[in-house]
Amino acid sequence: MGERVSDGRTTVERKSDCELVVTRVFDGPVRLVFDAWTKAELFQLWWAPKSSGVPMLACEMDARTGGGYSVTFGKDAGSAMTFYGKYLEVTPPSRLIWTNEESEQGAVTTVTFEEEEGDRTRLVLQELYPSKEALDESFVGMEDTMPEQFRQLDELLATQAANV
Amino acid sequence: MVQYSATRLDASFAALSDATRRGVLEQLGRGDASITELADRFHMTLTGMKKHVGVLEQAGLVTTEKVGRVRTCRLGLRGFEEEVAWIEERHRIWSLRFDALDQVIEAMKRREKADGRTRE
């Protein structure tokens, strides 16, 4: 274990077979950073950045302990894929835990927000997967959010290549 | 799309879980070495080092070749690159996301400042 990549800002580390941890410091107070994770109109501004090429089509969040969320990605309605789950804990502005229930292999994600000197926020995101295989093959969002569609696209391209 | 084989990743992560084996990879990164040289370097018996190299070899992280009586080990780059690619891809995406979040936070701060000024 212990694979770790850091560029001095964002650190991603595989802590164990089933656990991935992402750490980052943001230049803003905890309450603002927490809002950006729990208010749908803010969350959808950054979770799927333009450069990902797969926009977020819809986002609903009921960020209360026991509440639910659903986030839909896709280029159009036909290729859309929805991720959803429940908030196991919402403790403003310091802790957020949600489940990913769109598949059996979904992680439980815990995000903690810690105040740092200079009105900054240290954010630690932990994804805990049900098995090692689930993490090995986990989606990272973006292009990987739609393996099915990409397989179909691969097949289509292969067919076209064969016809040329 | 890059496909990662789960069993391959399993073997690689298991291989990397040991400090000596990580050290061996680091050492081989500087140049090929024989099992005897590695055993000396890590103060181990030949048998102990053979076992470690075996685990690394099975994970595809190291390849060995026997010439005469000497077995030379070198990095099996393909396997190692797969590990690195796996975590680097995740890093790339979280960085993109968090850079976008930086901008959102900046905008929120500006807005709050402006609102504060109107209220005063």
CATH code of the domain containing A11? 3.30.530.20
Domain that holds residue A65: 4-163
Residue A27 DSSP code: S
Are B1 and A143 inside 8 Å of each other by CB?
A: yes
Chain B closest-CA separation from residue A79 CA (Å): 17
Confidence band (pLDDT; 50, 70, 90) for A148? very low
Confidence band (pLDDT; 50, 70, 90) for B5? low
- Residue pLDDT, tens place only, A90-146: 999 999 999 999 888 999 999 999 999 999 999 999 999 999 889 988 866 544 444
- Residues in chain B within 8 Å Cβ distance of A3: 13, 16, 83-84, 86-87
Number of structural domains found in chain A: 1
ipTM of this complex prediction, to 2 decimal places: 0.82
Taking the C-alpha atoms of residue A28 and residue B102, their distance in angstroms, rounded to an integer, is 9
What residues pair up with A95 in beta bridges, in sequence order?
A91, A112
Quick one: closest CA in B to A150, which residue?
B1
Give the tokens for residue A107: 């992680």
Domain that holds residue B26: 6-79
pLDDT attached to residue A143:
45
CATH code of the domain containing B41? 1.10.10.10
- Residue pLDDT, tens place only, B55-76: 998 888 888 988 888 999 998 7
Quick one: closest CA in A to B90, which residue?
A140
- Residue pLDDT, tens place only, A59-96: 999 999 999 999 998 887 777 888 999 999 999 999 99
User: Considering CB atoms only, which of B1, B13, B101 is closest to A46?
Assistant: B101
User: What is the DSSP pairing of strand A4-6 with strand A11-16?
Assistant: antiparallel
Taking CA atoms, B82 is separated from B51, B59, B78, B85, B90, in Å, by 23, 11, 6, 5, 13
- Residues in chain B within 8 Å Cβ distance of A26: 98, 101-102, 105
Q: Check CB contact of B85 with chain A, cutoff 8 Å.
A: no
Confidence band (pLDDT; 50, 70, 90) for A33? very high
Are A24 and B106 inside 8 Å of each other by CB?
A: no
In a domain, B102, yes or no: no
Number of structural domains found in chain B: 1
φ, ψ for residue A16 (rounded to 5)?
-160, 180
In a domain, B101, yes or no: no
